[in-house]
Amino acid sequence: MKITFCCTDTKAEPWLAGLRAALPAAQVELWQPGAPPADHAVVWAPPQQFFDEQSQLKGVFNIGAGVDALLKLRLPPRATVVRLDDAGMSVQMAEYVCHAVIRHFREFDGYEADVKAGKWSYRKPRSRADFAVGVMGLGVLGERVARALQVFEFPVNGWSRSAKTIDGVRGFSGAAQFNDFLRATRVLVNLLPLTPDTRDIMRRETLSKLQPGGYVINVARGAHLVDDDLIALIDSGHLAGATLDVFRTEPLPGDHPFWRHPKISITPHTSARTLRDESIAQIAGKIMALERAEPIAGIVDPVRGY
């Protein structure tokens, strides 16, 4: 069995060493143009040339949860595309979102600004009952986030394409219940996959349905959010602010208004990083399962886009 590795912006040698250790019977090589055909590929942002040359691939393993960029390419017709289920990302995402929600709810951003100004301040405690958190996207990451938020006793709503049941989470599903979900939500957390249906889903029309004083946390993809609409709704007072980890252009251009907006906090796409050892173990297990014709989790449906 031969495995080829093609991951841009990723240091290859530790991945190659890990895959060779996890799959000692396999031949694991770094892809170069003109390389011999392989059985499976481990990829991140590969060029179209890679798939044009490796048209016989049986499995394509993406070292991340999001596959929107991968699905824009012409993929091998017989290849099974597989995304990571978790590999240590869900706990990181839960940490990030809970931190952002609590920072906003407890007004720690305001205290921080006051401290920098040399001001000793006090703010009246707010009620968690008034800060319902809505999680859009209830996959592996979204479900973990929803469960983590319950620990802090926030009311939690969840919205997904198809109905899902999570204990303690008020469930909404499908287009018919989307507006009801938004109206029931004050803090909106986006964990949706990026598809043609979800692109620009956070725009003036939808964000204006959030409860007054709403807050937006985007940890999915930058193209989910219409930047100018968010800024307009914050400046109008309908939204209180936002925490953003993903952007339409990354790195975020230096002249983008997000850098300087006082009510927008940004981080450099770091909410949940791929953990190499966990990812290698998961990928190796799935490759062996595919070779044995066994079912695996994380298979991507190209029609749905996730």
Tokens for 234, please give them: 């914050």
| Amino acid, res. 169 | V
Give the chain's domain count.
Answer: 2
Active site residue 238: no
- Count of positions (residues) in the chain: 306
Active site residue 221: yes
Q: Which of the residues 269, 273, 292, 304 is marked catalytic?
A: 269
Judge whether 56 and 83 are in contact, CB under 8 Å.
no
Say which CATH number the domain at 248 has.
Answer: 3.40.50.720
Is residue 37 in a domain?
A: yes
* Domain end point (choices 231, 249, 266): 266
Residues 83 and 93 in one domain: no
Tokens for 299, please give them: 């298979």
**The model's pTM:** 0.92
Task: Return the biggest CA–CA distance within the chain.
Answer: 67
Is residue 302 in a domain?
A: no
Residues 240 and 283 in one domain: no
Q: What is the pLDDT along the chain (306 residues), one digit of tens a residue?
A: 999 999 988 999 999 999 999 999 999 999 999 999 999 999 999 999 999 999 999 999 999 888 999 999 999 999 999 999 888 899 999 999 999 999 999 999 999 999 999 999 999 999 999 999 999 999 999 999 999 999 999 999 999 999 999 999 999 999 999 999 999 999 999 999 999 999 999 999 999 999 999 999 999 999 999 999 999 999 999 999 999 999 999 999 999 999 999 999 999 999 999 999 999 999 999 999 999 999 999 999 988 888
SS3 content of the chain, % helix, strand, coil (to 5): 35, 20, 45
Q: Which of the residues 40, 221, 224, 256 is marked catalytic?
A: 221
Write out the residue range of the structural domain in which residue 179 sits: 89-266
